[in-house]
Amino acid sequence: MAIFKLQINGRSYQADVEPDTPLLWVLRDNFGLVGTKYGCGIAQCGACTVHLNGEATRACVLPVSAVGKSKVTTIEGLSVAGTHPVQQAWDTMDVPQCGYCQAGQIMTAAALLKRNPKPSQAEIDETMTGNICRCGTYHRIREAVKLASMSSPAGTIKSSKTK
C-alpha cells in the first residue's frame, strides 16, 4: 500500500492503495466517482475511458502509480452542469439505451473533438469503433458526435473543469 495524490476534475484526491491498482478502481472504490465503468478490464470495450491530460485513456489498465501529476478528467468533471456539447448532443439525439457504456463513449468523443473539432465520418467511425455498445446505439452515437462537432465552432470544445 502507498499513498497516491491525484488531480481529478480539478480537485485533489488521495488514496492509500496498492501501486498496481487500476485507476478505474481507485476512482470507483476510493473516490466514489462511479461514472467511469468497468466492462472488460483489458482495454477492449472503452467503458472506462477517462481523459489523461486531455487524451482518451483506458482507466482499467492504467495503474494508479503511472498517473503521477497527470490531470485526470472523468465524466463527472467533463463539465460543471452536464452541458458539454457532447453531453448535450447525447441527450438531443437520445443516444442511451441501457446507458452503461455511454460515459466511456462520451469521453472518447469529447477527446476526439478536442484534438479534431471537425472530424469526417470516417474519422468519427475510426475513433468510436474502439468503444463497444452492446445495445447497438451506434447510429445515434455517430450522429451525436456529428451534432456536437457542428454545435460548437472549431476549437471551442475543451474539457471544462469543476471547481
Partner 1 sequence: MQTIEHSSRRGFLKIAAATGGGLILGFNWFESEAATATTTAAAVAAGADFNSYLSISPQGIITILSPNPEVGQGIKTAFPIIVAEELDADWTKVVVEQAPLDTKKFERQVAGGSGSIPHSWERLRKAGATARQMLVGAAAKRWSVPGSECTTEKGFVIHSASNRKLSYGELATEAAQLPVPADVKLKAVKDFKLIGTTVKNVDNAKITTGKPLFGLDFYREGMLFAMLQRPAFGYKLKSLNAEAAKAMPGIVNVVTFDNNVAVVGKSTWQVKKAKDALKIEWEKADALESTTDHNRLFKELLDSSNATVRRKDGDVETAFKNAAKVVRAEYQCPFLSHAPMEPMNFFAHVRPDGVELVGPTQTPELARNETAKLLGITPDKVSVQLTRMGGGFGRRLKADYVVEAVQVSKLVNAPVKLIWTREDDMTGGSYRPAVRYRFEAALDAQGNMIGYKLRGASINAGNATREDNFPAGAVDNLLIDSVDHKSPITTGPWRAPITNFLAFAEQSFIDEVAQAAGKDPVQFRLDLLNKAKQKPVGAIKYDIDRMKGVIDLAVEKSGWGKKKGADGKLVAQGFSVYFSHRSYVAQVGEVVLQKGKPVLQKVYSAADCGVVINQSGAQQQVRGCVVDGIGHAMYGNLTFKDGMTQQKNFNEYRLIRLNEIPEIEVHFVQNEVDPTGLGEPSLPPAGGAVANAIFKATGKRLRSQPFVEQDEFKGVS
- Cell numbers for 59, please give them: 482507466
Among 81, 72, 143, CA closest to 111: 72
Q: Sketch the per residue contact string, 78 through 117, with partner 1: x for CB under 8 A, - otherwise.
A: x---x----x--xx--x-xxxxxxxx--x-----------
Edge-to-edge order in the sheet of strand 2-8: 11-17, 2-8, 71-73, 49-52, 55-58
Neighbours of 126 (CB within 10 A): 12
Identity of residue 84? H
Q: How far is the CB of 67 from partner 1 (least distance, A)?
A: 15
**3 state SS of 141:** helix
Please report whether residue 149 would count as binding partner 1 according to CB under 8 A. Answer: no
Q: Which is nearer to partner 1, 67 or 103 (CB)?
A: 103
Q: Sketch the per residue contact string, 31 through 70, with partner 1: x for CB under 8 A, - otherwise.
A: -xxxxxxxxxxx-xx-x-----------------------
Q: Which residues bind partner 1 (CB under 8 A)?
A: 1, 17-18, 20-22, 25, 28-30, 32-42, 44-45, 47, 74-76, 78, 82, 87, 90-91, 94, 96-103, 106, 125-126, 128-142
